């Protein structure tokens, strides 16, 4: 057993507007997310289930069955294999729970998902 204090846990700045404080168990990952308005997550899927618990803010998710807008104290369960993307409508604080240890978070491979390709169009 291990106790984690988010007041002391170092954050992982995924980018300038997306901060994650993650804890990894043997078979689960839990992260507190602080995400700014305008942040976009590109379409992707996971091999395992993901639960997003929005503590505050507004976060729009694009899912196979349609769009879902989460607001304060709402949760979204995304089944394994479902392709999803999202847009943060208001500054948000959320808890992200995944039923695996998210090696992509640890390695930083997921960073590419949290970039908005439109912000780089001026360079083309």
> What's the count of helices (H) and strands (E) in the chain, helices before strands?
1, 8
- Please give the model's pTM, rounded to 2 decimal places: 0.80
Q: What is the pLDDT of residues 69-109, one digit of tens each?
A: 999 999 999 999 999 999 999 999 999 999 866 666 556 66
Whether residue 65 is predicted with pLDDT greater than 80 in this model: the reply is: yes
Q: Please, what are the domains in the chain?
A: 12-112 (2.60.120.10)
Q: How is residue 11 written in tokens?
A: 């954050």
Angle (nearest 5°) at CA 12 between 8 and 17: 115
Measure the CA–CA gap between 80 and 98, rounded to whole angstroms: 10
CA-wise closest residue to 95 among 4, 14, 23, 15 = 23
């Amino acid at each position: 057993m291990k106790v984690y204090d988010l007041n002391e846990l170092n954050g992982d700045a995924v980018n300038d507007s997306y901060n994650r404080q993650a804890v990894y168990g043997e078979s689960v990952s839990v992260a507190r997310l602080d995400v700014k308005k305008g942040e976009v997550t590109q379409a992707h899927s996971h091999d395992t289930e993901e639960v997003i618990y929005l503590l505050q803010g507004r976060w729009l998710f694009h899912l196979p069955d349609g769009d879902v807008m989460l607001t304060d104290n709402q949760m979204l369960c995304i089944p394994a294999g479902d392709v999803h993307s999202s847009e943060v409508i208001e500054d948000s604080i959320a808890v992200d729970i995944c039923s695996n240890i998210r090696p992509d978070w640890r390695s930083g491979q997921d960073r590419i998902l949290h970039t908005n390709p439109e912000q780089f169009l001026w360079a083309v």
